[in-house]
Structure 1
Amino acid sequence: MQKTILKQQYENFAASRSERLDKTYDRFQKFISQLEIHGEVISQEDANLKLLRSLPSAWNTHTLIMLNKSDLDTLNNTSSTNEAVNTAHDVSAASSQG
């Protein structure tokens, strides 16, 4: 029963416009971890795609860039994700200042 609920929550996962990207990522990772505890295996590529597609429309440009990266399967690596988050934040800050 718990596994079914977690799978449904994973499928319906969406980032909030008011939520910081690192908080969204942490919340997403909790779903992945809980699903793995219940024996559900989600490939790294599927998880990456799901996370990118769950981002609000304000992230469309960043999402498109990340989706076109040849090493998408490593995007969910913590250091790669932090780098992507920092880069996206820097780009967003620069564009809002300009």
Structure 2
Amino acid sequence: MEAIEKRFGGNTETKKVQKTLLKQQFEKFFGSSSEGLDKIHVRLQKLVSQLEIHGVSLSQEDVNLKFLRSLPSEWKTYTLIWRNKTDLEDKSLDDLFNSLKIYESEVKHSFSQGTDSQ
């Protein structure tokens, strides 16, 4: 079993490097307009899971704020409202995603109208 862990888990130095790279990815995480809310959510969820596997604990508020700040500019109105809510640390990332998902068609419609008029 130990040999398998060494082979596939990496040594201490490898794990340290992976942890550092994941932290950097989290810091620089950003979504694009072409991705859509679903893909951004899934990518962030995977990254947070990987960080947790490597022993990095993030507060729920930090994860939620990262999600809100990583959304493209067309989400600005909604992200400002959500960032100022007091219960952000009590909401799971999935709950926040579902709350925003309700507005996705409205955001897409507003964004497409804005790009059509330019």
TM range (shorter): 0.7 to 0.9
Amino acid in the other structure paired with 1:38: H
Q: Distance in 2 between matches of 1:64 and 1:92?
A: 14
Matches within 5 A, 1:14-93: 14-86=30-102, 88-92=103-107
**Cα separation, 2, equivalents of 1:43 and 1:79:** 15
Q: Provide the C-alpha distance between the structure 1 equivalents of 2:39 and 2:31, rounded to a whole number of angstroms.
A: 9
CA deviations over 1:25-56 (Å, ceiling 9, x no partner): 11001000000000000000011111111111
How many angstroms apart in 1 are the aligned matches of 2:56 and 2:108?
38
Letter in 2 for 1:91: E
- Give the total of aligned pairs: 96
Give the TM-score of the pair, scaled to structure 2: 0.71
SS in 1 for 2:77: helix
Amino acid in structure 2 at the alignment position of 1:22: D
CA deviation after TM superposition for structure 1 residue 70, in Å = 2.3
Q: Does 1:8 align with 2:50?
A: no
Unaligned runs of 5+ in 2: 1-16, 114-118
Structure 1 stretches lacking a partner, 5+ long: none
Query: TM-score with structure 1 length normalisation?
Result: 0.84
Which SS does the other structure have where 2:55 is aligned? coil
Task: Using the TM superposition, give the Cα deviation of residue 22 of structure 1 relative to its aligned residue in structure 2, in angstroms.
Answer: 1.4
In the TM superposition, what is the alpha-carbon distance from 1:93 to its structure 2 partner?
Answer: 5.3
CA RMSD of superposed structures (Å)? 1.9
